[in-house]
Amino acid sequence: MSSRLRVFDTSVGTKVLIGLSGLALILYLLIHIAGNALVLLGPAIYNRYAHALMSNPLIPIVEVGLALVLVLHIYKTVSMYAANRQARPTSYAVKKYAGAPSRKSLASSTMIVSGVWLLVFLIVHVKAFRFGLQIDTPEGLHDLYRIEMEIFSHPLTVAFYVLTMAIVGAHLWHGISSAFQSLGLENARWTPRLLALGKTVAVLIAAGFIVIALWAHLTGGGR
């Protein structure tokens, strides 16, 4: 292995990859929710958006790239977690925090658990929206609008989705600021602003997806 690539096996290099891959996934979530929000404008606009997206020849390449980024993020996060556990096998049970205020929180303590939950959700989500119901419009387009309304018509599905989006928010609440920290983007002036920005983005992403799901369930798209 090249010495330049070997640096990514170090603790610092691992944190950098986790930070970069995490920010890339957050950027995807922001783009994804912007597209999903078009469902609020009605079936014609939303289905045209969905058709333009699905007929774009670059989308398969983007999907493969996203999958690789996700795998990298998971692999490096688990590797760092395992290395930390091995280096300090008992410290997690007895560690006490003193001195400067700690950033440790429920969100930071459950990153692995929330990450596993989100991975399971992603599989269920892709199966439902990509390989589940197949409904076409009278014009022969993929009727993603009606599919979304049908999926979110079930109360248990909506409850699972809302709970998962709350977990997404908790994961991002710590994850965004942690990504900035891993990339060394911290100082006395900017750290509070980056922390506030990360928490704001986390809340907006989670709330945005929850609002769309509840709107679809409560209104059925106006049907």
- The DSSP code sequence of 129-186 is HHTT---B-TTS-B-HHHHHHHHTTSHHHHHHHHHHHHHHHHHHHHHHHHHHHHTT--
pLDDT of res. 189: 76
Averages of pLDDT over each 10 residues, the chain, 223 residues: 58 85 93 94 92 90 94 89 74 44 61 86 89 80 89 94 94 84 73 84 95 93 58
- Domains of the chain, by residue range, sit at 3-85+104-222
The confidence score (pLDDT) of residue 96 equals: 45
Which overall architecture, per CATH, does domain 3-85+104-222 show?
A: Up-down Bundle (1.20)
State the Cα angle at 163 between 104 and 170, rounded to 5°: 20
pTM for this structure? 0.81
